[in-house]
Structure 1
Amino acid sequence: MDIFYTIDEKYLQAVEEYKYGESPKSLQLLNEIIAADPTYARAFFHLGLIYYYELKDYQQAGYCFKTCNDLDDRFPDLYEHYIRLLAFLNLERALETIKIKALNIPGVDYAAIWEIAGKHAEKNKQFCLARSCYQEAILTAVTTKRVEDLEESIQRLDGKEQRMAAFRYSVI
């Protein structure tokens, strides 16, 4: 039986278990951490990851991400996953609020935040907003691969706009 002397050691063990595909063990350790210290924000973050990506329990994932954000709103790792969940659930107001907050936190991958916002806008046929988000993402991207992916997104957006214009033209 493993004996952990501090909550931080237990947290690191939970992260390792998750990293190596042992989600049930990680889930158990994270719940033990929260039982011992209900203000340990990072435990809620990793619980959110497990509920979102592994268990597909989106309501519980949202609760965990929101709780982490409420406890420690300066934790940069949270925002990309939280915004991805909000976009997936099509929660526009919450997404906009968290996006604005994320863009003011040091350490957040701003390009990822803008890209997710762009994809969400594109999915909802808000092409002007999507283009603006993709352009902001390009400005904050730091790798050539990401810039190329974002340029492909803009090209895809151009194609959709042309199809919509052709459709509108034929209807009129």
Structure 2
Amino acid sequence: MESLSFYENQFIKADSLISEGNIADGKEMLEEILSQYPDFGKAHNHLGWIYYNKLSNYDKGIYHYKLAMKFEPKYPAPYLNYTYLLIDIGRYAEAKEHIDFTFNNLENVDYSSFNSELGRMAEYESDYIAAYNFYKLAKKNALNPNFIDNMNANMKRVKDKMSIFEKLKLKLN
């Protein structure tokens, strides 16, 4: 068995392949890493991303994200990626529980992104006041100008969806 350092370097190469759009070779390299180090959390995260985003295999995506969080509990990427997946497949209650767990257990949480996802769920559920407030909170914690512009657009969109009474309630708060 080769050293972990070799597989860390292989992981960096796999990450580069994926970034360059060479998903198949990146996936193959990640699978090779996990055949030798099945508890390599970052490789599980990347495989979860491939299964979810490129292959639409949500069950395998969930499986790998859960292993990533188990084996690499301080690595933030799988927490957010798992949230995206749960919301995209309509499992809002699980997503909300997961976000709550993340807020309470993970250091260095990207509150902006998670609040944006809470806003997205509230919007899907037609709770426009909550959606507006989550997007506003996401914007407040953000540093990226493009993200801030996106939150402004989200806030405008949900405001346009609100009834006159919801808009009045929003102004009163």
Return the TM-score normalized by structure 1: 0.84
The letter of the residue matching 2:142 is A
Pairs within 5 Å for 1:2-81: 6-81=6-81
The letter of the residue matching 1:158 is K
Identity of aligned residues (%): 22
Larger deviation, residues 109-118 vs 4-13: 4-13
3-state SS of 2:162 partner: helix
Deviations 1:81-104, CA, capped at 9 Å, x for gaps: 211111101112221122123335
Pairs within 5 Å for 1:1-172: 6-104=6-104, 105-162=106-163
The letter of the residue matching 1:85 is L
Following TM superposition, by how much is the alpha carbon of 1:79 offset from its aligned partner in structure 2, in angstroms? Answer: 2.4
Deviations 1:54-101, CA, capped at 9 Å, x for gaps: 112112111111111122221112222211111101112221122123
The letter of the residue matching 1:80 is L
What is the distance in 1 between the residues matched to 2:5 and 2:142? 41
Residue 169 (structure 1) aligns with: none
Following TM superposition, by how much is the alpha carbon of 1:113 offset from its aligned partner in structure 2, in angstroms? Answer: 1.3
Residue 168 (structure 1) aligns with: none
- Structure 1: 5+ residue runs without aligned partners? 166-172
User: Is contact 2:132-2:159 (8 Å) kept?
Assistant: no
Following TM superposition, by how much is the alpha carbon of 1:5 offset from its aligned partner in structure 2, in angstroms? Answer: 6.8
What is the distance in 2 between the residues matched to 1:40 and 1:76? 14
Return the TM-score normalized by structure 2: 0.83
3-state SS of 2:163 partner: helix
What is the distance in 2 between the residues matched to 1:163 and 1:64? 45
Aligned pair count?
A: 162
Q: Kindly report the root-mean-square deviation, in angstroms, between the aligned alpha carbons of the 2 structures.
A: 2.1
The letter of the residue matching 2:33 is I
What is the distance in 2 between the residues matched to 1:103 and 1:133? 14
- Structure 2: 5+ residue runs without aligned partners? 167-173
What is the distance in 2 between the residues matched to 1:36 and 1:8? 12
Deviations 1:29-51, CA, capped at 9 Å, x for gaps: 11111111111101100001111
What is the distance in 2 between the residues matched to 1:143 and 1:12? 25
User: Is contact 1:41-1:71 (8 Å) kept?
Assistant: yes
